[in-house]
Structure formats: C-alpha cells, structure tokens
Amino acid sequence: MTASFSLPIKSSALTILAGVLLGILAPTSSEAGQRGAKGTGESRPDALYHNYCSVCHGDRGDGRSRAQNSLKPPPRDFTNAGELTREAMITITTHGKPGTAMVGWKTQLNEAEIAGVVDYIRKTFMIVALDPKLQRGKTIYAQNCIACHGARGQGSPMPIGGSVPARDLASPQARAELTRERMITAVTTGRPGTAMAGFGGRLPAADIDAVVDYVRAALMVPQTEISGTDAHAGRAAAQRPGGSRSAVATGADMMQPMPNGLKGDAAAGGRFYMANCATCHGAKGDGKGPRAYFINPKPRNFIDPTFTSSFNRPAIYAATSVGRLGTEMPAWNKVLSDREIANVSEFVFQRFVLPAQKTAKK
C-alpha cells in the first residue's frame, strides 16, 4: 500500500530511533494501572499521539522529527497524506505494517484509543490534505504569501519591501487578534504603511477566502502543551519508581566499573549521543536540547553538580538502560545491546562527569 504511513525497517539498533518509543513509552504491565488499563479508554488522543507517534512523525505530524534522517523510508508526513483513509489508518495502527518498524498497537491501546488517535491525526494534521478548498489555499499561499510570511507563517523579524516586518501569523497575539473577517479585508485591500498589498484586483473572492482559511487552519495553530508527566496520563513524581529525580545518593564511588564486565567505547557512544540524545539533553549536556523547551519534567542536566557527584558508570548505565517512568526518558534496552548502552554511558561519564570531578578536587 503506497499510501501507508510507516516507521521504517528495523535494520539495526542504531538506526531505528522509531523503535525507541515503539515499545518503550508504551506502558509495561507494571505501569498499566497508572495510565488506565487497556480497555478503559482513559487517555487523551493528543497525549497518545505525543507518547507514541511524535518522536517519529513530528510534533506537527509532518515527519520532521529527529528520527527522520535515521529512518528509511522516512516517517510518514501526514500533512500530505490525503489519500489515506480512516479505515486504512486504523488497520495499520492496530496491526502494524509488515516490512517496517510500524508495529501494531492492539496490545497497548484499545479500539477506542486507536480510533481516537487516528481521528486526532486526521483533524489536526491532515485537515488541509483532506479539504480541496484548503489545498487551493495552500497553493495560493505558496505563490503569493510565503516570501514574506514564511512557510509556517512565522513572518520576518526584518521589514521586507516596507517599513514594518511581515506579521507573524503563528503567534498567540495573531491568533487572539485576527478574526477571519479582518484577515479577508487585509488580504483584499492591503494594509497601509506596510508591504502588505491588496490582492482584491488579482485574486477572486473565493481564492482569498481559501488562502485565509488555509492560514487559519494550518498556520494559526497553538503549540502542543502535552509533555512529560502530563503526556503519560498525569503520573505524578511521587508515583515514579525511586521517587524524585535526585534520589541517587551523592558521593558515589566514581571508580566503579560498568556492570557485567562491560567496557564502553566513548567515541562510539559520543556519535550515538549526538544523533539521539542531544536533542533533549543538549550537545553540552546541559538539558537544553531542541526538544527540551516543551518537555516536563525537563531533561536531565548532566553538568549539574547533583548529577556529577552522584552518577557513576553503573548509575548512568542503569538510567540509560531502563529509562524513567513519568518522564520522556525511554528505556534504551528495548533497542540497544548492552555494549551499545555501555558506549553511550561511557561517553556521558567521560564528557560530563569526569571533568566536574577533577574540578571539584582542585
């Protein structure tokens, strides 16, 4: 089925970032009581999408995720998937797609939840692809508006062809101020004192309506507020195994080796870290990666003194291996070998912990 959406073939542990969340963020049997047992239908569709789908298909459903460069074929772009029927999407979500990493979710989600997340995708990300009028508006926007307002309606910080910068149509202020009628008037007659010219003499009224409706449906959309604990059905910090994030005692023995006689390759671990971990934890280990802005609880800060004084090799290995319930830290032992986990753990230890230890001893 050429119209299928997919999380691609599991060729190796290091190239299937999709697999990280295909079985990791899905609750285990011990967690089932905290998200609502299968069959209760208690989880919100937006939270389900955030948990199980966004890591590959992206926060906007356009496939522009951190995973896209590691997956072949790339994750499905739902914003251009108008040929996908609801029935096909439910079937694929339920049973998976052979030959890809898109597994069936029928053991994790009930029928109502699967239908809910599919409907959420269709109403949130596929609204333009499924509406011929909005598709027409998208074409008109690309031909007449994108040069100033940007592909995502973000506008321009500097004036373009006038003294006033192009409006950021995606901003909260624009969503609050711009009614459909006001936008149609601005597109038709222009805005004096700006580079916004009137299109009433160039576009028929139906096309002006279409482009305004496209902007409102596709670009003037609030950012998701689903993240971290809330995304996992509201599991509080007190419910997490081990309690708070700083439950590990300080003053750990930094000479302890990896468990089971493992020896990590920091260079190999560094390559994996930059490709898969830096997006949350940051290239500098400061917890300020590009995904960190909407994650709660925030990603671990590896250069914080609490971490550098309490996490030795075994502790880092354990945290990487099993993840942490109630956060977006996945259990990497679902897709990585023990040696690969040791590699990335060794990199974190050498890059962030050892320098802090040396500084503290001076």
CATH number at residue 155: 1.10.760.10
Q: What integer best gives the mean pLDDT of the chain? A: 79
**What pLDDT does residue 230 have?**
40
Residue 168 shares a structural domain with residue 93: no
Residue at a domain's end among 100, 124, 148: 124
Strands (E), 126-279: none
How many distinct structural domains can be found in the chain?
3
pLDDT at residue 66, rounded to an integer: 64
Q: At 223, is the pLDDT very low, low, confident or very high (cuts 50, 70, 90)?
A: low
pLDDT value for 252? 80
In a domain, 71, yes or no: yes
Q: What is the pTM of this model?
A: 0.55
pLDDT tier at 291, thresholds 50, 70, 90: confident
Cα angle, residue 109 at apex, residues 103 and 114 outer, rounded to 5°: 85
Instruction: Give the model's confidence band at 60: pLDDT under 50 very low, under 70 low, under 90 confident, else very high.
Output: confident
Q: Measuring CA to CA, which residue among 60, 54, 47 is closest to residue 230?
A: 47
Query: From the CA atom positions of the chain, what is the Rg in Å?
Result: 24
Establish if 65 belongs to a structural domain.
yes
188, 219, 250: which is the final residue of a domain? 219
* Euclidean distance between CA atoms 73 and 68, whole angstroms: 9
Q: In this model, does residue 334 exceed pLDDT 70?
A: yes
164 and 55 part of one domain: no
Least confident residue range of 111-125, 186-200, 280-294 = 280-294
85 has a pLDDT exceeding 80: yes
Peptide bond into 45 cis (omega under 30): no
For the chain, percent of residues with pLDDT exceeding 70: 74
Domain that includes residue 244, residue range:
239-361
* Selection from 266, 291, 329, 318 nearest residue 20 by Cα: 329
pLDDT tens per residue across span 242-263: 333 433 445 688 999 999 999 9
With respect to residue 227, please indicate whether it lies within any of the assigned structural domains.
no
| Same domain, residue pair 246 and 341 | yes
Can you give the pLDDT at residue 251? 63
Residue 231 lies in a domain: no
Residues 322, 262 share a domain: yes
Tell me what pLDDT residue 294 has.
61
